């Protein structure tokens, strides 16, 4: 029996949980499933129940929950030996201030980045070039701490000229495109901040990113995520630095939601075929 918790994929049994938690009937289905399709917004409770059931599970979210947030990902890149910017993890603002109490003492060369652990799409990302910009970051992070969301990283700046390569892995397929600044001097480059999407620029570097994503997937099992890279663009042959892994990601660079779900449907069918089950038993709804 194939079980789907994904609202867009109907199969032998489809369960749309919404906001409710797993009940005994759900757990019975999980224990008896041969394959389970998870939603992209899968809570850890569901993943834990499915991962110990003996069923094949798509997508693999083991790394998402083992290395959560930017703090976790910085450990993941180090543990697996992937090139990434020098990154320090901080539990609180006070911990940072005690480590670097002097006004001219910083953990990285100026400028550098401060990044809130759990924010997305450049929310909570600060470009630190002096003490006033650092103080602005601390004000934001202190509010996050007071609301029960502590933790952040400080990270060296890789001189990428604002260009960020996004590589999206969907099953066995990797799609790459650039997020490029639309104004001179822009260093925080996201689609939500009007970055330009470019599928054609620097295909040589896109290929480097693609190879790194395939290596990441081979070592970790990650098969549905958007991985961002930066390159030191002043070098003749720049290497890709892993920046972050996004398990929730925009779809504009993939052609929109309809194209994205078409790609995801293809990946689910391929995965079912590899597990020895019937790909035709899943319907995109």
Return the percentage of the chain with pLDDT > 70, whole number: 98
**Pairwise CA distance, residues 89 & 155, whole Å:** 9
| pLDDT score, position 187 | 72
Residue 151 is predicted with a pLDDT of 96
Q: Per mean pLDDT, which range of 25-29, 61-65, 167-171, 250-254 is the poorest?
A: 250-254
Helix, strand, or coil (residue 194): coil
125-128: strand order across its sheet: 87-90, 152-156, 112-116, 125-128
**pLDDT value at 3 more than 70:** yes
DSSP string, 141-173: HHHHHHTT---EEEEEPP--TT-EEEEEEETTE
Banded model confidence at residue 190, pLDDT cuts 50, 70, 90: confident
Is the Cα torsion angle 203, 220, 6, 3 positive or negative in sign?
A: positive
pLDDT single digits (tens) 120-157? 766 889 999 999 999 999 999 999 999 999 999 999 99
Which tens digits make up the pLDDT trace of 14-47?
Answer: 999 988 899 999 999 999 999 999 999 899 999 9
pLDDT of res. 269: 97
pTM: 0.92
Higher pLDDT, 19 or 70: 70
At residue 218, the pLDDT reads 97
Q: Which two tokens stand for residue 60?
A: 């693999």
Provide the pLDDT confidence category of residue 185 given band limits of 50, 70 and 90.
low
Do 197 and 179 meet the contact criterion of CB atoms below 8 Å apart? yes
pLDDT at 13 over 80: yes
Domains, the chain, with CATH or none: 2-59+259-267 (no CATH), 62-83+158-246 (3.30.470.20), 86-156 (3.30.1490.20)
On whether the CB atoms of residues 30 and 55 are closer than 8 A, the answer is yes
Has residue 248 got a pLDDT over 80? yes
Specify the DSSP element, H or E, that contains 62: helix 62-66
Indicate if the alpha-carbon torsion angle 38, 44, 47, 53 is positive or negative. Answer: negative
pLDDT at 195: 82
Q: What is the predicted pLDDT for the residue at 192?
A: 64
Cβ count near 118 (within 10 Å):
16
Sign of CA dihedral 278, 279, 282, 283: negative
Average pLDDT over residues 88-108: 92
In whole angstroms, give the CA distance from residue 201 to residue 186: 18
- Residues sharing a CB contact under 8 Å with residue 246, sequence separation 6 or more, in sequence order: 120, 225, 226, 227, 228
In whole numbers, what is the pLDDT of the chain averaged over residues? 94
Average pLDDT for 247-272: 95
Q: If you search the block for the tokens 């994503």, which residue do you land on?
A: 213
Output the pLDDT for position 191. Answer: 66
Residue 194 has pLDDT above 90, yes or no: no
């Amino acid at each position: 029996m194939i079980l789907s918790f994904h609202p867009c994929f109907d199969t032998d049994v489809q369960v749309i949980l919404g906001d409710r938690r797993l009940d005994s009937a759900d757990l019975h289905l999980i224990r008896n499933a041969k394959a389970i399709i998870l939603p992209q917004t899968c809570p850890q409770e569901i993943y834990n129940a499915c991962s110990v059931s003996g069923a094949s599970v798509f997508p693999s979210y083991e790394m998402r929950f083992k290395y959560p947030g930017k703090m976790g990902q910085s450990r993941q890149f180090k543990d697996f030996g992937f090139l990434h910017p020098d990154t320090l993890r901080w539990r609180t603002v006070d911990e940072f201030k005690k480590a670097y109490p002097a006004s001219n003492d910083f953990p990285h060369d100026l400028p550098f980045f401060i990044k809130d652990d759990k924010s997305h799409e450049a929310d909570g990302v600060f470009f630190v070039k002096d003490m006033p910009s650092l103080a602005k970051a601390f004000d934001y992070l202190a509010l996050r701490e007071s609301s029960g969301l502590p933790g952040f990283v400080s990270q060296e700046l890789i001189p990428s000229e604002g260009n960020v390569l996004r590589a999206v892995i969907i099953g066995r397929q990797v799609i790459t495109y650039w997020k490029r600044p639309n104004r001179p001097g822009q260093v925080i480059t996201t689609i939500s901040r009007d970055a330009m999407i470019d599928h054609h620029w620097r295909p040589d570097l896109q290929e480097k990113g693609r190879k790194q994503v395939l290596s990441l997937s081979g070592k970790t099992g990650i098969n549905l995520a958007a991985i961002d890279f930066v390159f030191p663009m002043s070098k003749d042959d720049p290497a890709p630095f892993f920046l972050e892994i996004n398990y929730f990601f925009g779809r504009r660079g993939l052609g929109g939601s309809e194209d994205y779900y078409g790609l995801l449907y293809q990946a689910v069918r391929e995965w079912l075929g590899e597990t020895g089950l019937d790909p035709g038993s899943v319907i995109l709804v």
